[in-house]
Amino acid sequence: MKEAKLREIDHRAFLRRLGPILAVYSAAMSPPAEQLPGRHTIMERHASYPRFRAVVAERRGALAPRGAIHGFAYGFHGAAGQWWHDVVRGALAELAGPEHARRWMDDSFEVAELHVHPDHQGRGLGRRLLNTLCEGRTERTVVLSTLDLGPEETPARRLYRSVGMVDLLTGFEFPGGGPPYAVMGATLPLAPYGPGRSADRSPGPA
């Protein structure tokens, strides 16, 4: 089987691939089936946000001429009026003041989704997607949210720490309910991968 290649796609190609992209999301996250139409709508809206960028891990061949998606990641420039941006900015301001929120959020690249199909996890594909997605971005910071399981740190959080991300919020509950999340961030460019990297070696924005 050929290895999946990373491919940057524009918003039009992203929308054409929303079916298989949502299939990867569903396999990775196991959401209730009734939530998927809403997730489809959210992803469509995200594709219209400023400086949208998407990367897919796609394998093409005789059995998959249109491309079989093994993983994907996408993000965009954060701006006032975007729901996630406004909620997180408000929480950071409440936690540590408006200047702290401004430093992290005023010029941010927001990674909205990064998922690898379970059949293809554990091979470094998530790190490749993240690094490719963030490469060359001119924003000062990159920010994202990921599930917070407390002391039992997820593979996703370990990945984000390995490229220099630190916790900005932990145990955070977004409006509308749902599980607690950690909001994490780093200055760009991302730090080179280092298995021993720790939070105190990744300063926040100056």
The residues that are catalytic are 160
User: Residue 161 burial by CB count (10 A; 0-12/13-18/19+): exposed, middle or buried?
Assistant: buried
Please count the other Cβ atoms lying within 10 Å of the Cβ belonging to residue 167.
Answer: 16
Taking alpha carbons only, the member of 23, 18, 43 closest to residue 33 is: 23
Report the C-alpha gap between 42 and 24 in whole angstroms.
Answer: 16
- Tokens (6 digits) for 107: 């010029």
**Residue owning tokens 């002391």:** 151
Q: Evaluate whether 183 touches 169 at the Cβ level (below 8 Å).
A: yes
Find tokens 């489809």 and name the residue.
40
